[in-house]
């Protein structure tokens, strides 16, 4: 606990010699207190960056310590494993906006609901890490597989965290989180890390929020089409009705709420382990699609606003 210093005596017309000699001591004490505050462990000051040797020798640390917290609404089809014992998941038939069944038909059973921030049934997140010399960034893809969305079998929905090295004069030369790139139905959205509203610090309780100083972004998943966002959307009609084309992007209108949570950090799978020759119906963004020869080369994804 920081010590509270007593107030200084009011000045007089004459200054005693001991007051002059004690002034440097008071300054020294204040400086020591300030230094202790700056150096004390504080999970809120989380995006401390990573030195080159960590990025080079232990890149999976960046993967683990940046993995998102997935936030899911009740009543949605939840993610599951894309492959089991080497066999591709066949997916399940769509419900066509609940005309042919509920959103959860053919999907894994969700865990019991105890109110906001109930922990979800576990599911894997497939990651892909690449260094991109064209933009001098490290980029990490986090990709979740769903057996369907409301309109078609199979669904891949993803987020990308980018790191850029601080190379300005007098800087720390560390790799810091810079952008968050999100899959949204009809578009790919980009946010500056400093604008991320919710993220928790590595080692902290996922319920807490350090904002842009955090490590793990909190990402809200749409109920019907599973688009990925940094914020909830709880307009009451959207909870029961499919989002149709609307301005600006219809994924923005998909109901999303923090009813369930699951830390991707708890179950990470190398996305490079999935076969490139597997097809996923209309879902065209499995992890191999973000390789250098894939449809969505990770290193060139939205370089118009991330270079």
Each residue of 241-298: pLDDT tens digit? Answer: 887 655 445 678 899 999 999 999 999 999 999 999 999 999 999 999 999 999 999 9
pLDDT for 170-199, tens place per residue? Answer: 778 899 999 999 998 778 999 999 999 999
Q: Which two tokens stand for residue 5?
A: 């210093």
Per-residue model confidence (pLDDT) at position 222: 96
144 token code pair: 């979740």
Q: DSSP letters of 133-160?
A: TTTTEEEEEEEEEEEEETTEEEEEEEEE
Give me the pLDDT at residue 249, please.
58
Q: How many CA atoms lie within 13 A of 287 on its CB side?
A: 24
pLDDT at 134: 96
Task: Please list, in sequence order, all residues whose beta carbon lies within 8 angstroms of the beta carbon of residue 240, skipping any fewer than 6 positions away.
Answer: none
CA gap 69, 207 in Å, rounded: 10
Alpha-carbon separation of residue 46 from 49, 116, 133, 176 (angstroms): 8, 25, 26, 11
Alpha carbon distance 241, 259 (integer Å) = 18
Nearest to 228, CA basis, from 73, 7, 40:
73
**Bridge partners of 240?**
none
Neighbours of 53 (CB within 10 A): 8
DSSP state letter for 266: G
pTM above 0.95?
no
DSSP code for 185: T
What is the predicted pLDDT for the residue at 38? 40
Question: Which regions of the chain are under pLDDT 70?
Answer: 1-46, 244-250, 307
């Amino acid at each position: 606990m920081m010590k509270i210093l007593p107030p200084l005596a009011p000045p007089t017309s004459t200054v005693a010699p001991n007051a002059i000699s004690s002034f440097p001591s008071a300054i020294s004490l204040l400086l020591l207190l300030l230094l202790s505050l700056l150096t004390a462990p504080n999970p809120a000051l989380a995006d401390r960056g990573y030195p080159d040797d960590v990025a080079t020798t232990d890149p999976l640390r960046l993967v683990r310590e940046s993995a998102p917290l997935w936030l899911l609404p009740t009543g949605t089809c939840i993610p599951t494993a894309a492959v089991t014992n080497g066999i591709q998941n066949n997916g399940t038939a769509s419900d066509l906006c609940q005309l042919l069944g509920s959103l959860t038909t053919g999907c894994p059973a969700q865990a019991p609901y105890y109110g906001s921030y109930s922990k979800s049934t576990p599911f894997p997140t497939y990651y892909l890490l690449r260094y991109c010399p064209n933009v001098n960034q490290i980029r990490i893809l986090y990709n979740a597989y769903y057996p369907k969305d409301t309109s078609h079998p199979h669904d891949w929905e993803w987020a990308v965290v980018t790191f850029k090295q601080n190379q300005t004069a007098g800087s720390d030369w560390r790799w810091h989180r810079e952008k968050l790139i999100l899959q949204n139905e009809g578009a790919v959205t980009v946010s500056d890390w400093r604008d991320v509203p919710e993220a928790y610090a590595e080692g902290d309780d996922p319920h807490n929020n350090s904002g842009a100083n955090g490590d793990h972004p909190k990402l809200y998943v749409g109920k019907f089409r599973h688009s990925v966002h940094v914020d909830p959307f709880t307009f009451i009609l959207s909870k029961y009705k499919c989002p149709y084309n609307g301005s600006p992007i219809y994924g923005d209108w998909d109901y999303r709420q923090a009813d369930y949570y699951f830390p991707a950090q708890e179950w990470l799978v190398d996305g490079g382990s999935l076969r490139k020759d597997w097809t996923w119906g209309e879902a065209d963004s499995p992890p191999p699609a973000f390789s250098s020869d894939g449809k969505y080369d990770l290193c060139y994804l939205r370089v118009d606003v991330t270079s």
